[in-house]
Amino acid sequence: MEEINNILETLIAQHRVLQKDLIDSLALSILENPDIPQIDAGMKKFLVDLPEHLNLENNIFYPNLLEKMKKKNIDTIKTEAFIAEMIIIGNAVMAFSDKYKTMPLIESQFDNFKKELSNIISVLNTRIESEESGVYLYWGMYN
């Protein structure tokens, strides 16, 4: 399965795309005359990119990682707790995306959108940093 062989590279590349999607929308939202249609386009792209990433991470990477760890008789309790936290964060990011999935929703709640967007970028970056400096390193260790 080619997907598994390059899974870390794929996940990291997806992280950069997700970060860019949101940073671009944030940059557009703080302009004097925000470009709502472009922000909406960015959010729609994010709403496509995020589920694709979460599917690969939650349904392929994490189960395979836990399986590798268990085969090596590694205690997975802390890793499973970490994964559960990451899934909660993913759900929060997804809920934000769903909340602002159309241009009228963004436009009608624009001030809230900007505040929440800044917060969700911070949350997403925390998740990404935690994964890339944590469980992603386990993949090679338990191969």
Residues 27-48: tens digit of each pLDDT: 999 999 999 999 999 999 999 9
Residues 107-129: tens digit of each pLDDT: 999 999 999 999 999 999 999 99
CA 142, 58, 105, 103 dihedral sign is positive
Q: What is the CATH number of the domain that holds 41?
A: 1.20.120
The full DSSP string for 5-52 is: HTHHHHHHHHHHHHHHHHHHHHHHHTSSS--HHHHHHHHHHHHHHHHH
Confidence band for 5, pLDDT divided at 50, 70 and 90 = confident
For the entire predicted model, the pTM comes to 0.92
| ∠ CA 99-105-111, rounded to 5° | 90
State the total domains in the chain.
Answer: 1
Q: Which domain holds residue 91?
A: 2-141
Residues 59-101: tens digit of each pLDDT: 999 999 999 999 999 999 999 999 999 999 999 999 999 999 9
Chain mean position to CA 82 = 15
